[in-house]
Structure 1
Amino acid sequence: MVIGPFVNGSAVVIGGLLGAFAGAKLPERVRVGLNPLFGLCSMGLGIMVIPGVKYFAAVVLASVIGLAIGELCYIEKGINKLAGSARGLIDKVFPPVGGLSQEEFLDKYVAILVLFCASGTGVFGSMHEGMTGDPSILYIKTILDLFTAGIFAITLGYAVAVIAVPQLVIQLSLAALAAFIVPMTTPEMRADFSAAGGLIMLATGLRICGIKSFPVANMLPALVLVMPISYLWGTYIA
């Protein structure tokens, strides 16, 4: 039985609750000033993994097709509805934190939802534990997520803790599928997968900073497409 996803999810819940509690006591100028830092950290993580790409053209192709699929399926619109409902339910139980409008909240919430659930560390950590039973990678992510969730919750409130639910579902699914997926991949395919995730994290950072509002949720299908496209590109084109 895998345990890493449960430990990771618990860290998000604890960090989200503590951050929201502390956020209510912080001055407005502190909460507002933290947002650019969140975006900068996300962009930094994305920049770190992109240089390892093997076939960048394949990553670009997967990103373009993935975004088109996401736009046609209205993925971000659906996530916005769920996020708005989650905030409404949570605000009935806990006092609102941060004073953000619904539009501002949804814009940042969707971005960090992608950051928590679609990071390369989480995806590979889940697959690694599913294959080997070793949760060490997810333990590292747990430490990072504990503090990251707390920082985001300062401005977004208790709704950050709810992100643990989709994160847990995704990580458990990946761990279960790992025994079938990993043997069919190559180091080059995994490197291109990380690069595609890096582009999404870079877009997430730009969105959090308010520089450019990329539809990051609609970009997620690229993560499903990039490894098959990378394999085909390396086999028949490169």
Structure 2
Amino acid sequence: MTFPGVGTLVNVATVLAGSGLGLLLGHRLPARTRDTVTDGLGLVTLLIGGLSAASVGSAVLADVVGSSAPVLIVLGSLLLGGIVGSLVDVERRLEDLGGWIRSRLGRRDGLVEGPHAQARERFIEAFVSSSLVFCVGPLTILGSLSDGLGLGAEQLYLKATLDGFAAIAFAASLGVGVLASALTVAVVQGLLTVVGLVVGDVLPPAHLDALTATGGLLLLGVGLRLLRIRQVPVGNLLPALLVAPLLVALVAASR
């Protein structure tokens, strides 16, 4: 049986398991193995994204907005959301946030000298770096919201697999601080799942279908990035998730 939040629990478990394995393996995991696993996960991401995007053909959505409107709504969501996201530059701001957190913690740690300070600095570097990789990304938001909305935790299961292998590499090179990032995953994704639960009680099914279809296209962008085909700026497209339900309401009201 599944329940809201199960995806986050699995994700936390894979981060802990991957970190422990990384501490044991050290640098023994070949780069070709990591690349092969990433390619496989990229292909699965394309599959999940395609299945989610198929919600654009939902009969419920067509009944509310008309048979010709769903594709235009998804297109409009991506265009408007992409314009807003690129003007705000969501991806760069997320990267800047990570750099700011790292610099603040590093500066605070620099007030102390000696071997204990070096160990603490290494722990903080491992914790912050891995937390940012695990939590600052489109799949975190899409997967957690989907889990909370009751659309399934498949996206978080995929992310959990990615994070597990990433945790092996991080722990092998950065150390035990990577284990602590599991707490960040639990807090961030748990809060986003709660948001999904609240939204799921408010949005009608047609609005959820439009959001799901739009999110599916964003997942396709994540898959292209994992396969190193094209670095689609998925972060800048995230506002489309807010635009899609609004466009459905607008079109439905105008009919």
TM-score in same-fold range (> 0.5): yes
When normalised by structure 1's length, the TM-score is 0.72
**Residue in 2 that maps onto 1:63:** 78
User: Considering only aligned residues, what root-mean-square deviation do their CA atoms show, in Å?
Assistant: 3.5
User: Which residue, 84, 92, 101 being the options, matches 2:122?
Assistant: 92
1:193 aligned onto 2:211: yes
* Runs of 5+ consecutive residues of structure 1 not aligned to the other structure: 97-101, 129-135
Identity of aligned residues (%): 23
1:168 matched to 2:167: no
4+ residue runs over 4 A deviation: 84-91, 140-146
Total equivalences in the alignment: 212
CA gap of 1:117–1:156, structure 2 versus 1, over 3 A, is: farther
Q: Structure 2 CA distance, aligned partners of 1:91 and 1:31?
A: 27
Gaps (5+ residues) in structure 2? 58-69, 106-119, 172-177
Q: CA-to-partner distance for each residue in 1:29-73, whole Å, 9 max, x for gaps?
A: 212222212211211110111122040110110111111111111
> CA distance change for structure 1 residues 207 and 156 in 2, over 3 Å: closer, same or farther?
farther
1:71 counterpart SS class? helix
Partners in 2 of 1:69 and 1:167 — Cα distance?
Answer: 24
Going from structure 1 to structure 2, the CA distance change for 1:87 and 1:46 (only over 3 Å counts) comes to farther
Structure 1 residue 111: deviation in Å?
9.6
Aligned to 2:139: 115
**Contact 1:12–1:163 (8 Å) recurs in 2:** yes
Question: What secondary structure does 2:38 align onto?
Answer: helix
- Greater shift after overlay, 80-89 or 218-227? 80-89
Q: What secondary structure does 1:206 align onto?
A: helix
Larger mean CA deviation between 85-94 and 71-80 belongs to 85-94
2:139–2:155 contact (8 Å) kept in structure 1: no
CA contact (8 A) 1:50 1:195 kept: yes
TM-superposed deviation, 1:222: 0.5
C-alpha distance in 2, partners of 1:233/1:147? 39
Do the aligned partners of residues 144 and 165 (structure 1) sit closer, same or farther apart at CA in structure 2, a change above 3 Å counting? same
The amino acid that maps onto 1:75 is V
Asked if 1:50 corresponds to 2:70, the answer is no
Name the counterpart of 1:212: 230
After TM superposition, the structure 1 stretch with the greater mean CA deviation from structure 2, 227-236 or 207-216, is 227-236
Cα deviations by residue, 1:86-145 (Å, 9 ceiling, x for unpaired): 67879821896xxxxx9xx9xx948983113213xx3243144xxxxxxx955x777665
